[in-house]
Amino acid sequence: MRWIPFAFTLLHLGVCALASERPAKPTSEAGVTFVAPLADSQALGVQMLEVATDIAGVDRVDFAVDGALAGVARTPPFRIAFDFGTSLASRTVTATVWSNGFRSRAQATIVTAAPGLSDTLNVEVVELPMRIRSNSVVRASDLRVRENGVEQTVRDVRMERPPAHFAFIVDRSLSMDSGKLEAALRAVRSAAGQLRDGDTSSLVLFNHRVDRPLPVAETFDVAPSGGTSLRDALASVSSKQRTYAIAITDGGDRNSLLDDEAALRKISGTKTTVSALVLGDTHARFLDRATANTGGSVVSVSKDTVARELQRLLADINSRQLVIYQSRGTQRGWRKIDVQSRRRGLEVAGARKGYFAE
């Protein structure tokens, strides 16, 4: 993730928003409370306009931006999508709540802030692979996503897994002897047949050194040797594209240059999901953190079960959906993600816990 000084030219396709250092406060007037946007926040691109009200028998809520009607909402939750465009000016947003057969009216108004020199522009689109169980079609409005407690605007829910890169990171250290390395490589070659049209793949072998990525289809004659640099190997996987990084290892790490925190910062981006198959009963705590942060899993296997479990893991990945939103309103560093359903009949499972924003 990259933070661009505000003086930089604004250039981004899709939804954009500004993160200000000034605190944002909800505004409430006459029983009408703005949920989004908040007063003194900055508004850019497509965002939700939403209010909550305790007024009974609401007929309609009219939303206006700078005096011009932006849209109406007739049923709760009272919200609409509005494109603020690329203007950096302060905007006035008004919600008019009509009730009692349109005989009563209540209003609330907030003013968004024009950015100052200390503001930063966050242009990161966050992708959340997850399992969604629903009794009907899932729409963006059916999900609530928060980052560090700040509600985000969901842009899209893709029910089919989009094409991705699969990076298989295989431990070739001396402890992977007795047939474990051979079993791991056979499993990777076999599982590659489960990849879909548009997917790509690579194989990264590592011991105390991390080899360059190789095509999965190549034939390998590799003998176990040397130490283990698991953290360095996982951190070597590029996160610039949608990636599933799958490590097959005996779980130890004795030689990585990166410590846990440095490796986690590289791994816990917004487009990489880490999973691990561990040949044995124990593994480094680093794997638990890496998989939990990114929405993956750790599975204990043997040389006899590694192929079967890798096929199960890929089947699970292929069954996942993708939720996409534009990050806004939170600071750099660790960003905790919370995803909840807005309606009955919709269950969310298996999403990442958060990511690091540099």
**What digits encode the pLDDT tens for the residues 120-159?**
444 467 888 888 888 888 989 999 999 999 999 888 888 8
Q: List Cα–Cα distances, 202 to 74, 190, 216, 255, 314, in angstroms.
A: 51, 14, 5, 23, 15
The dihedral built from the CA positions of residue 65, 67, 68 and 72, taken in this order, carries a sign that is positive
- Output the pLDDT for position 119: 47
Write the CB contacts of 161 (distance below 8 Å, at least 6 apart in sequence): 129, 196, 317, 318, 319, 320, 321, 322
Q: Using one digit for the tens of pLDDT, what is the confidence trace for 36-76?
A: 888 887 777 777 899 999 999 999 999 999 999 999 999 99
Contact between 121 and 8 under an 8 Å Cβ cutoff? The reply is yes
Which of 269, 190, 256, 327 is closest to 1 using CA atoms? 269
214-219 LR contacts (CB < 8 Å, sep 24+): 216/168, 216/188, 216/189, 216/192, 217/189, 217/192
Q: How far is CA 42 from the centre of its chain?
A: 22
- Output the pLDDT for position 116: 55
CA angle 238, 175, 243 (to 5 degrees): 15
Helical (H) or strand (E) element with 5: strand 3-5
Helix (H, G, I), strand (E, B) or coil at 142: helix
The residue type of 5 is P
- Output the pLDDT for position 128: 86
User: Which regions of the chain are under pLDDT 50?
Assistant: 1-28, 117-123
- Output the pLDDT for position 178: 94
- Output the pLDDT for position 269: 75
- Rounded Cα distance, 230 and 290, in Å: 12
> Tokens at residue 137, please?
């079609």
Contact between 120 and 328 under an 8 Å Cβ cutoff? The reply is no
Contact between 310 and 165 under an 8 Å Cβ cutoff? The reply is no
> Tokens at residue 278, please?
């561990």
- Output the pLDDT for position 296: 92
Per-residue exposure over 134-158, b if at least 16 CB sit within 10 Å of its own CB, e if not: beeebebebbebbbeebbbbbbebe
- Rounded Cα distance, 256 and 160, in Å: 36
- Rounded Cα distance, 213 and 167, in Å: 9
For the entire predicted model, the pTM comes to 0.64
Helices within the chain (DSSP H only) = 180-191, 230-235, 260-267, 285-294, 306-318
301-307 LR contacts (CB < 8 Å, sep 24+): 301/277, 303/178, 303/179, 303/180, 303/182, 303/183, 303/184, 303/279, 304/183, 306/183, 306/184, 306/187, 306/248, 306/277, 306/279, 307/183, 307/186, 307/187, 307/190, 307/191
- Output the pLDDT for position 26: 39
The residue type of 128 is L
The residue type of 208 is H
Name the region of 40 (left: φ>0; alpha: ψ -120 to 50; beta: rest): left
> Tokens at residue 199, please?
């997917």
- Output the pLDDT for position 253: 92
